[in-house]
Amino acid sequence: MRHQDDTSSVNEEGRGGFSLPAVAATGLARGLGGALIFSLPMLMTMEMWWLGFYLDRFRLVLLLILNIPLLTLLSHQAGFEETSEWRDDLRDAATAYGIGIVSSTLVLTGFGIITVGMPLDEIVGKIAIQSVPASIGALLGRSQLGGGKAKLPQGSEEEAYGGELLLMAVGALFLGLNVAPTEEMILISYKMTEWHAIAIIAVSILLMHGFVYALEFKGESPLYPDTPWWSAFLRFTVVGYAIAALVSLYVLWTFGRTEDVSLSQILMSVTVLGFPTSIGAAAARLIL
């Protein structure tokens, strides 16, 4: 079952004299640490500050809304505690979101990025855009800082495969949020030719497939020893790259990078952003 290592650790803490509030406080502290680890690079990125100021509010709200089911599903993999019902996962997601908002507010205030004299809309926008990666980090802080790793569902092969795809999407989104706001990403897409794009796609797929087999060697991916190479390539590498490309396109659209540009340039930008998002998707089982 999921979170067995977390449950046993809680039981051991209880036998050691720790009260439930102390255990909860420890989980929240790990969540705060995870939020800082995952979001600090973005909290210190100027482009992310400006996005909170000028980003289209509909797209920002949509990102915040979509983050809720993402966090809920992610909680089903690695939450703050053992959960048996979806309402518990929703509670974990709400807690992670709260930690993400609080940590983003504290850091941005400490850096002087948000001040009392700023318009409320700008303050809310800057905190909201940063709360998404911070909330993901908060939710994963339990498995990362608690000495455990996210566990795939054990019910069936289909559930395990779905869990892998979810973690791929999270890994792609995390790295995509890091890179997409920067001007360098757009500059690279303008400098590249079609042959550069083909080479980047090929390298991305090769690296992803390398990660798939690295995970198989670690025994963490639902691949069996007799799995044909083409099956792993199609089910994980190709599907994973498609997920990374779709995440890249969505992030570019959210940040307004697809406005007033040709289709060919959008595809080039997706290819460029698809390189880090594909690495994030492939390495998700190692780093999340």
User: Given the structure tokens 């089910």, which residue do they identify?
Assistant: 235
Q: Per-residue confidence at 246, pLDDT binned at 50, 70, 90?
A: very high
Which of 151, 176, 192 lies at the terminal end of a domain, its last residue?
151
Number of H helices, E strands in the chain: 13, 0
Rounded Cα–Cα distance for residues 241 and 273 (Å)? 12
The 10s digit of each residue's pLDDT in 107-124 is 999 999 999 889 999 999
pLDDT tens figures, 24-53: 677 778 888 888 888 888 899 888 888 888
Please give the structure tokens belonging to residue 67: 């983050």
User: pLDDT grade, residue 222 (50/70/90)?
Assistant: low
Report angle CA 150, 153, 157 to the nearest 5 degrees: 130
Give yes or no: residues 243 and 131 share one domain: no
What ranges in 16-85 are assigned the alpha helix state H? 20-43, 46-54, 57-78
Residues 136 and 108 in one domain: yes
Contact 99, 136 (CB under 8 A): no
pLDDT-based confidence at residue 13 (cuts at 50, 70, 90)? very low
Asked if 198 and 287 sit in the same domain, the reply is: yes
Q: Are residues 166 and 66 in the same domain?
A: no
Same domain, 127 and 43: yes
- Using the 3D structure, point to which of 129, 151, 173 is the last residue of a domain: 151
How many residues are there in the chain? Answer: 288
Per the rule left: phi > 0, alpha: psi between -120 and 50, beta: everything else, 147 is left
Q: Give the C-alpha separation, 36 to 288, whole Å.
A: 15
Name the H helices within 180-238. 183-191, 194-218, 229-232
Q: Which of 237, 111, 100, 106 is nearest to 177 (CA)?
A: 100
Using an 8 Å Cβ cutoff, are 83 and 75 in contact? yes
Do 165 and 144 share a structural domain? no
**What letter represents residue 264's amino acid?**
S
- What pLDDT, on a 0 to 100 scale, did the predictor assign at position 93? 87
> Are 74 and 185 part of one and the same domain?
no
Q: What angle do CA 111, 114, 116 make, to 5 degrees?
A: 120
Residues 131 and 227 in one domain: no
Q: Are residues 147 and 171 in the same domain?
A: no
Band (pLDDT 50/70/90 cuts) for residue 228 is: low
Q: Could you tell me if residue 112 is left (phi over 0), alpha (psi between -120 and 50 degrees) or otherwise beta?
A: left
Residue 141 shares a structural domain with residue 166? no
Report the number of distinct structural domains present in the chain. Answer: 2
Burial of 262 (0-12, 13-18, 19+ CB in 10 A): exposed
- Domain end, chosen from 124, 151, 178, is at 151
pLDDT of residue 284: 76
Which domain covers residue 35, as residue numbers? Answer: 1-151
Q: What is the pTM of this model?
A: 0.79
For 54-68, the pLDDT digits (tens) are 889 999 999 999 999
Q: Locate 25 and state its tokens.
A: 């406080």
Q: CA angle at residue 77 from 75 to 79, to 5 degrees? A: 40
Average pLDDT along the chain = 80
- 215 and 92 in one domain? no
Higher pLDDT, 85 or 19: 85
Q: What is the pLDDT of residue 216?
A: 54
Same domain? For 26 and 125 the reply is: yes
